[in-house]
Amino acid sequence: MEIPSLIAHIGNTPLIPLQSPNARTQIFGKAEWFNPGGSVKDRAAKFIFERALASGQLTREKILLDATSGNTGIAYAMIGAALGYRVALVMPANVSVERKKIARAYGAELIESDPLEGSDGAIVRARELARDAQKYFYADQYNNSANVHAHYTTTAPEIWEQTRGMITHFVAGVGTSGTMMGAGARLKEFNPAIQLIEVQPADELQVIEGLKHMESAIVPGIYDAQLADKQIAIETEAAYREAHRVAREEGLFVGLSAGAAIAAARQIAQEIETGIIIAILPDSGDRYLSTALWT
């Protein structure tokens, strides 16, 4: 199958320099909103689609189904529209209005789950629907190795090339954990000395869209708690502050999980003498305009 040019442009996102609190360290954000679907999740969705089609699991008769907090769902919907496949998404009812509207604009069917149950509630509901195997192909991004393979194959080599192999620290939030598991594993193969920094909400009460507090959540099957060298817990308010700061001081309009990653990267910069820190910035702030982040 010939891949539409839109989908072929997924990846190869730029590194953007960020202010560092330590003059001897450099921080760069990998600006994943440059993907055609507007987020880092385009990468995983592309690989999941391609594997499902190649294996015959996804056919014209079936609907691609998955649980999502928004970005992966938008990526599925975009690719589904480009390839001519139907997509159904289970989202918590409190996902931002912008994310719902974008997914619907691509033609996806939205199924809302209990907002109080968060992403875990969406997973449970999707699993219930997926029992109808004649109707649905359950993409299951939290347990699909194609999610990891996407970042192993694309994200890590891009960073290695962009930094000319000089990266010392890699910072990424964990939700499905595909970015850290794939890119982190590959970066360790390039240079075992690279430090992998995993970002999570500080506790189960902190809500940072796209991220999971693993101790209190349904743990993704692709997640390996032993891979990262360090975990940094970020409170929601700290992620808010950092998103606001980079918008006003650096001209970058980022989302909440990107704010959390930048906060963690700046913490690492203060703890080390010198280094090159790369933080994954999953999306831009325009998907959060109706949320407390900007209101």
Buried b (16+ CB within 10 A) or exposed e, 214-242: beebbebebbeeeebeeebebbbebbbeb
Please say if 257 is a catalytic residue.
Answer: yes
CA dist., res. 226 & res. 235, Å (int): 23
Q: Kindly give the confidence (pLDDT) of every residue in the chain, 295 residues in length, as a single tens digit, with 9 standing for 90 and above.
A: 455 678 999 999 999 999 999 999 999 999 999 999 999 999 999 999 999 999 999 999 999 999 998 999 999 999 999 999 999 999 999 999 999 999 999 999 999 999 989 889 999 999 999 999 999 999 999 999 999 999 999 999 999 999 999 999 999 999 999 999 999 999 999 999 999 999 999 998 898 988 999 999 999 999 999 999 999 999 999 999 999 999 999 999 999 999 999 999 999 999 999 999 999 999 999 999 998 888 8
CA dist., res. 263 & res. 21, Å (int): 11
User: Of residues 41, 62, 100, 212, which has the active-site annotation?
Assistant: 41
pTM exceeds 0.85: yes
Domains and CATH numbers, the chain: 5-34+155-288 (3.40.50.1100), 42-138 (3.40.50.1100)
The structure tokens listed for 279 are: 């933080």
* Beta-ladder partners of 195: 169
User: Of residues 69, 113, 177, 257, which has the active-site annotation?
Assistant: 257
